[in-house]
Structure 1
């Protein structure tokens, strides 16, 4: 040491970085270490170097660019510190020593405060003064706390078994912490028989007064809404054979990226339920709604392959979800904070998503689910509470990550801001473990498996590691304008691209193509969930053309490559274009359309934007090279490089393939005629060069052809009409009909029947768009012949007569 008066400290070896030490990982002591580099937090890789006294006096922050210069100057002043060669030298991080020491003191104080409140014999109310976030020299990317300090949670979490309730800073329970003596006395009242009995008598009298004063609101002997819904759910449950197939389908297709259940625990409850199916529904109150929601989710893929009874399929599509929702809303306050209830709410939201719930409603419901989870304290790190078991802690991590993911995706789909608070998600990332590796009796979790080893939680772990960056990007999207600094956007976008590149090998789409459809669906979901924020960030920046800006050219290329990849995913699931000869591909095609239909439409518009920006005389590659883009990953290559050039005709063909897919599904519930109409007009406008006067006839023709193709597809989908009833020729009837008065006779009917005014509901579908964008009902010869074969038109001029309408 330079100062001989200072106490000499025992020399210590080079230690791990703070993050590896906290997570008990093996650190390679490089700067940054491999573990921090994998999760893209290299700037947060900090070492706690004690004993370097000279660095304590430097109360300043040094940028990474000056690390080498400061390192050399520091080593020249230090005699007691060995000179290490290469990476792994702790002294290179001397600029952050003061911050590290302050954080270390704060963490120790936090632990002391925790122990002051943890050692309680009863259901514990945890300290509201502890800092539940863990920061290693820097806060979460989304944190706005000055200086990188983690924010405080000024609340109280009450844990009782599987129930948990978080009380905010203005709640009575939290405010009681200001008065320790009163709080101690109230806690001890549970063991005081006099006060306890008196309190029970007061509650009983209060109930009687309420029943007397408000008889209409509190009727005794009337079945509650929750009990009524539960009995109907039990009565309408499908047979076990059907349930077995649907439950198995759910486990294969959905319990991957969105982890909600612990499968061994659910299977044990499932077997117990079918062993005693005649038990009162109240004894299985939590399991029956949960099972019903799972069946409703799995039915979205089954689509009648397992369920042959139309009544059962109709029930799972409509009434089942309403009954589960009624049951949840009718629960008492304490039942609402059960872990199983929150799992059922999450399953209900997922099942509603597959019922074509609109994006705005999905966003509102997901926000409500986030608030329900925060009321149970899922946003707090579970390791800070000794009352939460190891099993419950891991399940809370999984469920919280699923709820956050669902709200993030719903927010991007609706174009709205996510309500997820600024949190450090470091302690919420689940372990890469299989469900069979732990259960309710586990006292500690086994070591997490490496990321190259596939587990039932690997997809969720991968998503959770990228969650802070994706939340940061989505918050930046709300402030994105065409005039913003492109360099900042590119920096954030590149970080997301790094996560796409480092998706573990078992979760690559190319690997899933060799297996089966559930694996393909799960890998596509993982890729799309990470890719969505990237496109949401870049898409508005393409509105202002900056051909000389390298950042703008990089954004163009990334958008085009990602869009082509999304459209190639659509071809993998489309039965008409897929090379996968797998059973039940139509059902997975339906699920893909429900989940990613809007993404495909936006990707097609990005391709149209690229066609518009392409020079008219460019000589580019052939369309056959386009599918190869799906195998590759986005690159930083300059857009003028050969690998970034695509044929305009090939890009147009990709959009036309999407239009054909939309046309095939024009009769499905999620289809929108406006999407077909809009995309066809946009494609024609960008592929046609020249003045607007030249484009207008072509746009008119493209719109008419699209509407005509949709009309023909719908006509083919209609069921055949029943045979028309044979009647006696009308002239014979008219000649025989006489008036009541013999003096008057009715003349014979003329050969020609004058047509009446056309009826509006008998017109054919819209087939013509005028120059103002209005649709007319002109009948073309093709439509007339088709409708005449159906028996709708019998007059020569195509008008609807009384003879046609009434069949006389």
Structure 2
């Protein structure tokens, strides 16, 4: 027998091919039928080298035909799992694959088993996911398609989260959840009143007058924000023109102090002692460095918004700097820079200061969002997103100022992104820059070789607010990530986890900076203003995180609704801590409402939504905490405190007070009269008044806004009507 085997090994002759081409190529056991079982399972065409040798029941004789040496090898086909109808019902391999234990352990049988089980698994996934979508049961799409098809988002209807303005299919603009247009969709009665005003004879005249006033105020704002042409169109070098519009040193000193007191808290852009030294040298020699005048003009413009009676819009240089002209000249200067000048730290500071100044008078958040994208990439080009410790050639003083500037840019980016409901340019994990240390500006200087030990975070310095806010930035950036992928959220767990972290941060802020701490009117309540801004820095992303669910999802967790209402009420009642009779209250109130006008407007709409919900609950016989008839006033101590309760009457009075403050701002260029009108309509539509009186109540609220606008324009309704007729 051994001799026979050795002889067989020595004899080399071509073996006749009995298997089909596909099984031979894949080295699978073929049962030599046509089609064979392997090709049936894999949904492949079954072909033999010589079709005449294989019939429906091919024999296992050795008389088959040989494959010619010149015959081409079948092309390799991409394997595709068979559709469900071709799978064996029993789910087991056929008898040709399990004839004995040795064949079962072979590689070919293992490959066949994997094919079968893989096909069965895909079929099972399709059957499970087919309940969520009718198209998921069809064979062919990828597993990702099936996974997405069976998914249900927890977010509310798109019309209550975002909107798109389309003009002729060519001009489009996206409006996020913070937009008045989107918030109006929460109030059906107010929306019908505004959209159907042209169909009602009683309302048409009112809205025609309103449109005339709006156009007149837009023209007033356009004139006020137009730069002085003699400086813009001049052929004199831009450095000389920037120096020519400066007010006298006394006025500059006052405006610089106003800027430092109002802005150099959460946003740290300059090193104050270094800038003061450069500032004094300028007035002594009148020879500024290249990047000094742009920074100076922007700082004067920001200070003029809070310190002058004209709010920076007067042409009289004795009052201060003309903000539109200053910003236009700085923009001209920055656009003229080339090469190495674009990676100079003074240039980056000028860009940030210019954006900060323009946001004080502009209502166009999307333009700020676009400009911030440029600033972020400019900062990354300069390496500010990497920690200075990675570069030994950067001295400690400049390393610390770079950290401060980077976190200022990151905070601005997050703020504007949340306002526009658009993604941040900076995402967590894409930067290594560490937060700035809690050090006073006097503690660091350019010649130092190492930084001093940072002070405890609860110890006051002029960098304390930014040092604390920078440590919370990753949690706040996470909010932007979540709200820009609302459609992919499966449940509320991620939202609740992120919100709980922000609420703990708010509790820490209240411990570090108690709200009921003694108020010092000196410096226009600087400590109170800085604490309020820090609180809003964290409360703003918390509201943005909860808003899509609290205002549009029926099965929203109770904690989200409660916490959202508390934060909205907190934002509207912050000014209640100050006594209106104290000196400086008017300036602080104006500053608060101008800086936070968008947040205040959104909070007012949100409280109106809760008033409407409470009224509807009362009408349906439900007795929720919102409909409680008694007013319980409690200080806001803990964001998670369940004891804080407001009645519908208390919430209504709070929104009315907020509306009064916003009506007082209609003359300001940063205020949009349309938003004030819409808020007035919404508030009066949710008030607890009889149905037959509601229309007159809404009309009365609109007339009140019209009267305030006419007073701001220093005209009368008759004069406005005559202008409309002409």
Alignment check: 8 A CA contact 2:684 2:698 kept: no
Partner of residue 519, structure 1? 527
Name the structure 1 match of 2:308: 303
User: Partner of 2:661: helix, strand, or coil?
Assistant: helix
465-474 or 606-615, which deviates more: 606-615
Who is 1:713 aligned against?
708
Distance in 1 (CA, whole Å) between partners of 2:339 and 2:279 is 26
Residue pairs, 1:359-438, within 5 angstroms: 359-423=365-429, 427-438=433-444
2:537 to 512, 529, 534: 529
**Matched residues in 2 for 1:655 and 1:373: separation?**
41
**CA displacement 1:601-660 (0-9 Å, x = unmatched):** 21112212222333316476677644x44x4231153xxxxx243211111111122222
- Residues 611, 686 of structure 1: 8 Å contact kept: yes
The equivalent residue for 1:263 is 272
1:511 Cα deviation (Å)? 3.2
Work out the CA distance in 2 between the residues paired with 1:636 and 1:459.
Answer: 25
Q: Which residue of 2 aligns with 1:439?
A: 445
- Alpha-carbon displacement from aligned partner over 1:456-480 (angstroms, at most 9, x marks no partner): 1110011101000110111101122
Aligned partners of 1:657, 1:580: CA distance in 2, in Å? 13
Does structure 1 conserve the Cα–Cα contact (< 8 Å) formed by 2:665 and 2:671? yes
Q: CA deviation at 1:544?
A: 4.6
Query: Is 2:303 the partner of 1:293?
Result: no
Q: Which has the larger radius of gyration?
A: 2
Quickly say closer, same or farther: Cα 1:287–1:672, change in 2 above 3 A.
closer
**2:547 is the alignment partner of 1:539:** yes
Aligned counterpart for 1:244 among listed residues 253, 261, 264: 253
CA contact (8 A) 1:483 1:544 kept: no
- Provide structure 1 residue ranges, at least 5 long, that are not aligned to the other structure: 1-223, 573-577, 638-642, 722-757, 766-799
Hey, what's the Cα distance between the residues in 2 that align with 1:443 and 1:225? Answer: 46
Question: TM (normalized to structure 1)?
Answer: 0.56
Match of 1:762 among 705, 721, 724: 721
Would the aligned equivalents of 1:462 and 1:503 in 2 still touch at CA under 8 Å? Answer: no
Kept after mapping to 1: 8 A contact 2:428/2:477: no
Q: Which residue of 1 aligns with 2:99?
A: none
Alpha-carbon deviation of 1:498?
Answer: 0.9
Question: 1:322–1:257: structure 2 CA closer, same or farther, 3 Å change rule?
Answer: same
Assess, with a 3 A threshold, how the Cα gap between structure 1 residues 759 and 673 changes in structure 2: closer, same or farther.
Answer: closer
Shift of 1:688: 4.7
Matched residues in 2 for 1:378 and 1:241: separation? 36
Determine if contact 1:493/1:534 at 8 Å carries over to the other structure.
yes
Aligned residues: 484
Q: Is 1:568–2:587 an aligned residue pair?
A: no
- Aligned equivalent of 2:281: 272
Mapped contact 1:242–1:307 kept (Cα < 8 A)? no
User: What whole-Å deviation, never above 9, does each CA across 1:692-715 have from its counterpart, x for those lacking one?
Assistant: xx84x5442233112211222233
Which secondary structure state, in structure 1, belongs to the residue aligned with residue 316 of structure 2? Answer: helix
Which moves more between the two structures, 470-479 or 499-508?
Answer: 499-508
* 2:262 equivalent among 253, 264, 267: 253
1:653 paired to 2:667:
no
Shift of 1:665: 2.4
Q: Within 5 Å, which residues of 2 pair with 1:132-143? A: none
* 1:396-438 residue CA offsets vs partner (Å, 9 max, x unmatched): 1000000011111011111111111442666420000001111
SS across alignment from 2:486: coil
Q: Within 5 Å, which residues of 2 pair with 1:734-749? A: none
Aligned to 2:178: none
- Mapped to 2, the partners of 1:705 and 1:540 lie a distance apart of 31
Q: Deviations over 1:532-586 (max 9, x none)?
A: 1111111111245546x7xx111111011100100012555xxxxx524343433
Task: Measure the CA separation in 1 of the matches of 2:715 and 2:407.
Answer: 49
Structure 1 counterpart SS, 2:595: helix
Residue 467 of structure 1 aligns with which residue?
Answer: 473
The answer to whether structure 1 residue 555 and structure 2 residue 560 are counterparts is yes
Deviations 1:141-197 (A, max 9, x none): xxxxxxxxxxxxxxxxxxxxxxxxxxxxxxxxxxxxxxxxxxxxxxxxxxxxxxxxx
Q: Give, in whole Å, the separation in 2 of the partners of 1:226 and 1:592.
A: 40
Structure 2 distance, partners of 1:625, 1:226, is: 66
- How far 1:325 moved relative to its partner? 1.0
After superposition, the C-alpha distances for 1:752-781 in whole angstroms (9 at most, x for unaligned) are xxxxxx99963499xxxxxxxxxxxxxxxx
After superposition, the Cα gap between the structure-2 partners of 1:657 and 1:481, relative to the gap in structure 1 and judged at 3 Å, is: farther
CA distance in 2, matches of 1:238, 1:544: 51
Q: Distance in 2 between matches of 1:671 and 1:442?
A: 46
Are residues 1:489 and 2:495 paired?
yes
Relative distance call for 1:556 and 1:227 in structure 2 (3 A) is: same
Q: After TM superposition, give the deviation of residue 673 of structure 1 in Å.
A: 3.2
The CA deviation string for residues 1-42 of structure 1, in whole angstroms up to 9 with x for no partner, is: xxxxxxxxxxxxxxxxxxxxxxxxxxxxxxxxxxxxxxxxxx
Alpha-carbon distance, 1:514 to partner: 3.9
Counterpart-to-counterpart distance in 2, 1:301 and 1:432: 27
- Structure 1 residues 596 and 388, CA gap change in structure 2 (3 angstroms): same
Q: Secondary structure at the match of 2:558?
A: helix
- Secondary structure (helix, strand or coil) at the match of 1:657 reads helix
The superposition leaves residues 494-550 of structure 1 with CA deviations (integer Å, 9 ceiling, x where unpaired) of 001111111275544433744543332222211111111111111111245546x7x
Tell me, yes or no, if the aligned pair for 1:354 and 1:591 is still in contact at 8 Å: no
Cα distance between partner residues in 2 of 1:607 and 1:513: 28
Instruction: Measure the CA separation in 1 of the matches of 2:303 and 2:718.
Output: 45
Q: Deviations over 1:651-694 (max 9, x none)?
A: 111112222222222332233333233223333443459xxxx8
Paired with 1:587 and 1:543, the residues of 2 have a C-alpha distance of: 34
